[in-house]
Amino acid sequence: MSASQPDCRRIAIELCLTHEALVLTSVADGKNLAQPGVKDERDWGTIAYLARVIGGTARIEDLASGGTRSIVSIPLKNLAAGLDAPAPAGTTVA
């Protein structure tokens, strides 16, 4: 998501497993998609919506350096839901 930000030249990604959640954080030097002048917010809106559907959160923070931080957090209890159910027909697992 951050790599699609206007003027993005650098991005750092961290995936962290805590006792309570799986947290994906990306930090980029590009322009925040929520800022005025950015045409398409559909990508971030979809991420935020899907996070909420499974009980998580998603937010974008402006950094003092001019970049942005995107954080998506999903509770572990929600990630484990349905793991004992069979995969849908036609699904392959690599």
pLDDT value, residue 82: 57
- C-alpha dihedral sign at 94, 22, 44, 9: negative
**SS3 state at 93:** coil
pLDDT in tens, 73-91: 999 888 766 556 655 555 5
Q: How many CB atoms lie within 10 A of CB 17?
A: 10
pLDDT value, residue 81: 61
Please choose, from the candidates 51, 43, 54, the residue with its C-alpha nearest in 3D space to the C-alpha of residue 2: 43
pLDDT value, residue 3: 47
Please choose, from the candidates 71, 72, 83, 75, the residue with its C-alpha nearest in 3D space to the C-alpha of residue 19: 75
pLDDT in tens, 1-26: 444 555 677 888 999 999 899 999 99
pLDDT in tens, 29-76: 866 555 444 444 567 788 889 899 989 999 988 888 788 889 999 998
Which residue ranges make up each domain of the chain? 2-76
Q: Match domain 2-76 to its CATH number in 3.40.50.720, 3.30.2020.30, 3.40.50.300, 3.30.565.10.
A: 3.30.565.10
